[in-house]
Amino acid sequence: MLVKRLFDIGLSLTAIVMMSPVFFFVAILLKFDSKGAVFYRQVRVGLNEKKFKLVKFRTMHVDSDRKGLLTVGDRDARITPLGYWLRKYKIDELPQLINVLGGDMSFVGPRPEVSRYVELYDNLQRRVLTMKPGITDWASIEFIDENRLLASADDPETFYIQTIIPQKITQNLKYIDHHNIWIDLKIISQTLRGIILK
């Protein structure tokens, strides 16, 4: 785990420095695009059920999360014009590098959920909380078009709870049982490839 932490620190610090012009540019665009803060912070459940604030670039209008936690489809009315593009190319996820550097997250690990959905986990599923959450994982690659899947469902939240969450957790448990730095690099490269192709 020490190697994984050193990898996270080194890569996140390097990425933050290299991507600082992008952070600055996106921050300016967000201020012109719509009212609200540059960053959006949401409480998620992390390692050993410890709660932390996950940081993203704000992609929705202020207080939109009060209308539901899930975004449905690429053109959810709550998403700002700039937010659509930030989400499409996963640029909104870049501030999570700060979470990685701070130690709440890793580059690779089970994506952290909000308490509302974690409370529905059974004892086996809660095992995903024994590993530090990550920016990406096998499930993120498989469900890169999750919003479109939700848009096609008659009841998006029920579909998310009964179908998507169990499939994600299955992938995450496999990762917990079989992971190393080389697998992490493979997941990161496939994530980047998926974003570029998208």
**Torsions phi, psi for 40 (to 5 deg):** -115, 125
For residue 69, pLDDT beyond 80: no
* Beta bridge partners of residue 55, listed in sequence order: 41
DSSP for 122-160 reads -TTGGGGGGS--EEE-HHHHHTTTHHHHHHTSSSHHHHI
Tokens of 76: 């959810």
Output the pLDDT for position 73: 60
Output the pLDDT for position 70: 73
Identify the weakest region by mean pLDDT among 42-46, 68-72, 172-176.
68-72
Output the pLDDT for position 150: 87
What is the domain range of residue 190? 2-197
What mean pLDDT comes out for the span 65-84? Answer: 77
Tokens of 125: 């599923």
Q: Which residue has the higher pLDDT, 115 or 2?
A: 115
Which pTM value belongs to this model? 0.91
SS3 call for 106: strand
Cα gap 37→41, rounded to integer Å: 10
What mean pLDDT comes out for the span 4-23? Answer: 96
Tokens of 190: 């496939």
Contact residues for 29 (Cβ-Cβ < 8 A; gap 6+)? 82
For residue 75, pLDDT beyond 80: no
Identify the weakest region by mean pLDDT among 9-13, 38-42, 81-85, 145-149.
145-149
Instruction: Identify the burial level of 6 via C-beta atoms within 10 angstroms of its C-beta, where 0-12 means exposed, 13-18 middle and 19 or more buried.
Output: exposed
For residue 86, pLDDT beyond 80: yes
Residue type, 120: L
For residue 145, pLDDT beyond 90: no
What mean pLDDT comes out for the span 191-196? Answer: 90
What mean pLDDT comes out for the span 145-157? Answer: 86
State the angle between helix axes of 181-197 and 2-33 in degrees (0 to 180), rounded to the nearest 10: 20
Q: Which residue has the higher pLDDT, 65 or 90?
A: 90
Mean pLDDT taken over the chain: 92
Please count the structural domains in the chain: 1
Output the pLDDT for position 152: 86
SS3 call for 95: coil
What mean pLDDT comes out for the span 153-173? Answer: 94
Among candidate residues 49, 9, 3, the one with its CA nearest the CA of residue 183: 3
For residue 68, pLDDT beyond 90: no
Output the pLDDT for position 49: 96
The percent of residues in the chain predicted with pLDDT above 90, rounded, is: 75
